[in-house]
């Protein structure tokens, strides 16, 4: 297990900015508004030759009740307890506040290794705050600027002894394991998820649908911040777990409202982060509310996942509160087939994030959707199938021109994509392409997954087409002579 560093401090002291600099990417949302970060975000940091895990935490609040700020504080205190070391950040320009003094005492009791950093330390305006930092009793403060990268070398020197000691301890405790590689064909049609390449699952939906609660139940711990308030989640948080024996990385995303209602800059950043998570995912779980399923925004979100080419699983949450389950399920299936024909056959699973009921069915549906998403069909099977489809329903002949579908092959997977070589590809109607796609779904057992179909021409084999007729040169001189009078 790698060395873990938790970055803690008051809101708006620059914790997320430092986190982004350490991981080398803009993963955490950053804004001038305090209190942007709410959940714990982990990332693989690199500082010179040092490699470690860094945790971005919510700003420490003085609230200790069941309010949102109180729940955020408890989540941050939990990160402090599980980390190997803490970097306590203060704002050098604002100086030491009474809140900083309270939290310094708390950190001193909760973690053995606490480093003090005075952020925003560039320029003379920060001199007073750096000197005040000595009063916290945490040793010499590290003067740094997360925005401009100043003080990173000094931070590496502070962490190096602890990281080296942790690596030595890990080597001593690591057991020796003999690994037997499997023999035979290494290339498989379906790539099973591994620890190095886990199954990527994104959970998306409208605000307050229960996405964070569902992921907490899958993890078996309260890792994500939840509550009755809508829009708690802001960052797209990725978590790695062993889900039913399958290595999985699951993404919790912010709730997506209608575009016209998204006005605040921070909410736009949150939605954009969620859309980025969808692009990285392999399977997208669209979480619906059983009370108000298939709202207009639910349809837009489902269509977005299909257009991105991701395997889609629809999960109906809060099923434990539904009194008439069988009648409701029939209504849901009818609405699904009618409103989302592009996802016909996709799994529809009922779950309860509060009680955990239906999570086994959800995991099976995700694995099944991922397997179909990776499916490859032999070319010989495709061409026999294409001949039968053409015989049952030949393509139309626009303008009296007969369209020939010569052969078919699968060009890609993830999602499955097929190419049909034919004459006059631009003349084939969209309805006939849908006829072939629906046939692929039914005959090759590929329900729900997005299928891409391209019609391509082979080019005309006549080299003299569209060329002007020319007269041989040996005859041209005789034709140019004036006729006899």
Distance separating alpha carbons of residues 406 and 229, to the nearest angstrom: 58
Read off the DSSP letter of residue 260.
G
Annotated binding-site residue numbers for GTP: 9-16, 56-60, 119-122, 205-212, 252-256, 317-320
Residue 310 has pLDDT above 90, yes or no: yes
- Average pLDDT over the chain reads 85
Exposed, middle or buried by CB within 10 Å (0-12, 13-18, 19+), for 426? Answer: exposed
pLDDT at 463: 55
Q: How confident is the model at residue 175 (pLDDT cuts 50, 70, 90)?
A: low
pLDDT at 7: 94
pLDDT at 402: 85
Q: How confident is the model at residue 158 (pLDDT cuts 50, 70, 90)?
A: very high
Q: How confident is the model at residue 478 (pLDDT cuts 50, 70, 90)?
A: low
Report percent pLDDT > 70 for the chain: 87
pLDDT at 471: 56
What pTM was estimated for this model as a whole? 0.79
Name the β-bridge partners of 251: 202, 238
CA-atom Rg of the chain in angstroms? 30
pLDDT at 186: 36
Main-chain dihedrals φ then ψ at residue 95, nearest 5 degrees? 80, -175
- Cα 223 to Cα 140, 237, 252, 448: the distances in Å are 33, 10, 11, 31
pLDDT at 75: 82
Distance separating alpha carbons of residues 432 and 437, to the nearest angstrom: 9
Q: Of 61 and 40, which is predicted with more confidence?
A: 40
Distance separating alpha carbons of residues 200 and 346, to the nearest angstrom: 18
Find the helix or strand (DSSP H, E) in which 163 lies. helix 152-173
Distance separating alpha carbons of residues 210 and 354, to the nearest angstrom: 9
Annotated binding-site residue numbers: 9-16, 56-60, 119-122, 205-212, 252-256, 317-320
pLDDT at 457: 84
Instruction: Give the residue-averaged pLDDT of 238-244.
Output: 90
Q: How confident is the model at residue 185 (pLDDT cuts 50, 70, 90)?
A: very low
**Selection from 75, 45, 48 nearest residue 60 by Cα:** 75
Q: How confident is the model at residue 472 (pLDDT cuts 50, 70, 90)?
A: low
Report percent pLDDT > 90 for the chain: 50
Q: How confident is the model at residue 272 (pLDDT cuts 50, 70, 90)?
A: confident
Instruction: Give the residue-averaged pLDDT of 371-399.
Output: 92
């Amino acid at each position: 297990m790698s060395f873990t560093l938790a970055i803690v401090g008051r809101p708006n002291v620059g914790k997320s900015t430092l986190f982004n600099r350490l991981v080398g990417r803009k993963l955490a949302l950053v804004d001038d508004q305090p209190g942007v970060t709410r959940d714990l975000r982990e990332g693989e940091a690199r500082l010179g030759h040092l490699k470690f895990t860094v945790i971005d935490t919510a700003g420490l609040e003085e609230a200790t009740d069941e309010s949102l700020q109180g729940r955020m504080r408890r989540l941050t205190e939990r990160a402090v307890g599980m980390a190997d070391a803490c970097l306590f950040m203060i704002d050098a320009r604002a100086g030491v506040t009474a809140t900083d003094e309270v939290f310094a005492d708390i950190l001193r009791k909760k973690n053995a290794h606490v480093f003090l950093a005075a952020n925003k330390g560039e320029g003379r305006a920060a001199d007073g705050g750096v000197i005040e930092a000595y009063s916290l009793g945490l040793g010499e403060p590290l003067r740094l600027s997360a925005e401009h990268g100043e003080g990173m070398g000094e931070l590496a020197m502070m962490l190096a002894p602890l990281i080296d000691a942790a690596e030595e301890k890990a080597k001593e405790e690591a057991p020796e394991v003999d690994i037997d590689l499997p023999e035979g064909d290494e290339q498989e049609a379906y790539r099973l998820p591994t620890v190095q390449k886990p199954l990527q699952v994104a959970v998306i939906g409208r605000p307050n649908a229960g996405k964070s609660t569902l992921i907490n139940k899958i993890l078996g711990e309260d890792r994500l911040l939840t509550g009755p308030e809508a829009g708690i989640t802001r960052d797209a948080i990725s978590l790695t777990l062993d889900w039913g024996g399958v290595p999985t990385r699951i993404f919790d995303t912010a709730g997506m409202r209608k575009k016209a209602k998204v006005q605040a800059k921070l909410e736009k950043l949150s939605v954009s982060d969620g859309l980025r998570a969808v692009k990285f995912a392999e399977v997208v779980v669209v979480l619906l509310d059983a009370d108000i399923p298939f709202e207009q925004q639910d349809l837009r979100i489902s269509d977005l996942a299909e257009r991105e080419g991701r395997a889609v699983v629809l999960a109906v949450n809060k099923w434990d509160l539904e009194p008439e389950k069988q009648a409701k399920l029939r209504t849901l299936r009818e609405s699904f087939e009618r409103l989302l024909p592009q996802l016909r056959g996709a799994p529809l699973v009922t779950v309860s994030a509060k009680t955990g009921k239906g999570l086994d069915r959800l995991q099976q549906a995700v694995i099944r959707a991922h397997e179909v998403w990776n499916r490859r069909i032999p070319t010989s099977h495709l061409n026999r199938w294409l001949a039968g489809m053409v015989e049952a329903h030949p393509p139309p002949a626009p303008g009296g021109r007969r369209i020939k579908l010569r052969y078919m092959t699968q060009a890609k997977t993830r999602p499955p994509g097929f190419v049909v070589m034919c004459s006059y590809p631009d003349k084939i109607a969209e309805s006939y392409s849908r006829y072939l796609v629906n046939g692929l779904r039914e005959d090759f057992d590929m329900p729900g997954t997005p299928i891409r179909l391209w019609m391509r021409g082979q080019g005309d084999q006549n080299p003299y087409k569209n060329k002007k007729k020319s007269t041989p040169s040996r005859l041209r001189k005789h034709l140019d002579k004036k006729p006899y009078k």
